[in-house]
Amino acid sequence: MDHLGWAPWLILVAVYTAVVVRAVLLERREPYARAAWLLLLVALPTIGTILYLLFGEPWVSPRLRRRTRLVHRALVEHAPPPAPDPPSAVARNAFRTCETASGWPLSTATAPWVAPDADSAIDRVVADIDAARSSVHLSFYIWLTDHNGSRVADAICRAAQRGVTCRIVADAIGSRSLIRSPQWAAMRAAGARLCASLTVPWGIGFLAGHRTDLRNHRKIAVIDGRIGWCGSQNCADAAFLPKRRFAPWVDILFRFEGPVVRQAELIFASAWMVETGEDMPAVFADQPPLTPRHGYPAIAVGTGPLSPASTMTNIFAAVLAAAEHHVVITTPYFAPDPPLLDAIVAAARRGVDLSIIFPNRNDSFITGAISRAYYPVLARAGARIFEFRGGLLHAKTLVVDGALMLVGSANMDRRSLDLNFENNMLIQSPELAEAVSAHQRRWLADAIEISPGGVTARSLPRRFFDNLLTMAAPLF
């Protein structure tokens, strides 16, 4: 074979070698993830190289990174001033962690209200939109054309037609059915400004400037800059028709007012400005933030693949470190990195009464299996494990000592920890914590506790399979 015949093989070898070196040298990676990728590349060179090029890194182009930094720098100047009331001493480090992650100081929230169910949440969101006078800012990962999704879309049309500025963000993948529907066109025709977030041509994601499966997972609603909404609920019915066999989807959404609303609006505006180019600082210049006043210490935080490594893990860990007596966690998807798992285990070991509620049936078979693989570790540390049977428990809640609460869009899996754009709120409010705890108690009443014997009752083949998946979790 002449030298031309060797050329393709030499190119493949060069690509493979470059990928291996890159996998080892990448700094934004935990050692366990580096080892998993190296093992895959050595065991399956061709498949491993393809998978690494597609999913090996949460890569974002230098151009998009630079634009995001400039946008954040321009918007952070419009954040509200620091809160007049500091948090308690035990919660201070958790808030400081969030301040570092967000780039703005602690704020305050007033009038927090937790919706009793999905339909009640949509009722109140629609009422807020119908009462809007100046602006409506909405961002949802999944927005369906079902009953609740249509009600919100119709409210947007009404608001836009009466002159309210409506800026709407829907993830291009999660909300693709809405984006292709007549309702999307109707909102645009009514005058709403629409953005299909993170649009990617499949197969050539590099042309879009970011990895194909990086998604905008946020759930944000801000009305007139005065009312904010945060939580896990998408803009859809609890029946959630695309995955109806897991229904009802059980979520949480809470409403709040006060200066912290501006922080939530800045998280929305950062994505909007990056993707549409609209000069949002000019918009905020005409709408000064609310004057700080007495309320509950609170901070809104946006995270994503452009955040420093382990930012979301650090937030979870800091909140858990504040626990002295009891913690209740709900998360549908549990595939933690080692630092997050260590933080949960450490809280349980030091005597904190720690309970975790998972869904009994998970729409993600792989993530459900990974979750169960961690049951023995959690149980040995003293954590109590529950599985909710009344549908897919999709709420992401963390309540500490009946006073400190973290709620938002982030799960305890690698997608939320490293890959997706998320929004969460940390608030110190006994009233709001009790309202969320009331939900948690209802979920516990419809859950089964996994006994220590049940934790270890999995068959040998099932344990082998589940544990094998935990090794693959860092790859994606």
304 close to 425: Cβ distance less than 8 angstroms: no
Complete DSSP assignment for 29-73: S-HHHHHHHHHHHHHSHHHHHHHHHHHSS--B-HHHHHHHHHHHH
Residues carrying an active site annotation: 217, 219, 224, 394, 396, 401
End-to-end CA distance of the chain: 39
Q: What is the DSSP letter of 87?
A: P
374 close to 464: Cβ distance less than 8 angstroms: no
Q: Which of 379, 384, 361, 371 is nearest to 444 (CA)?
A: 384
CA atoms within 13 A on the CB side of 196: 16
Place of tokens 């896990």: 232
Other Cβ atoms closer than 10 A to 277: 10
Other Cβ atoms closer than 10 A to 327: 23
**Conformation bin of residue 120: beta by default, left when phi > 0, alpha when psi is -120 to 50:** alpha
> What residue type is 133 in one-letter code?
R
443 close to 250: Cβ distance less than 8 angstroms: yes
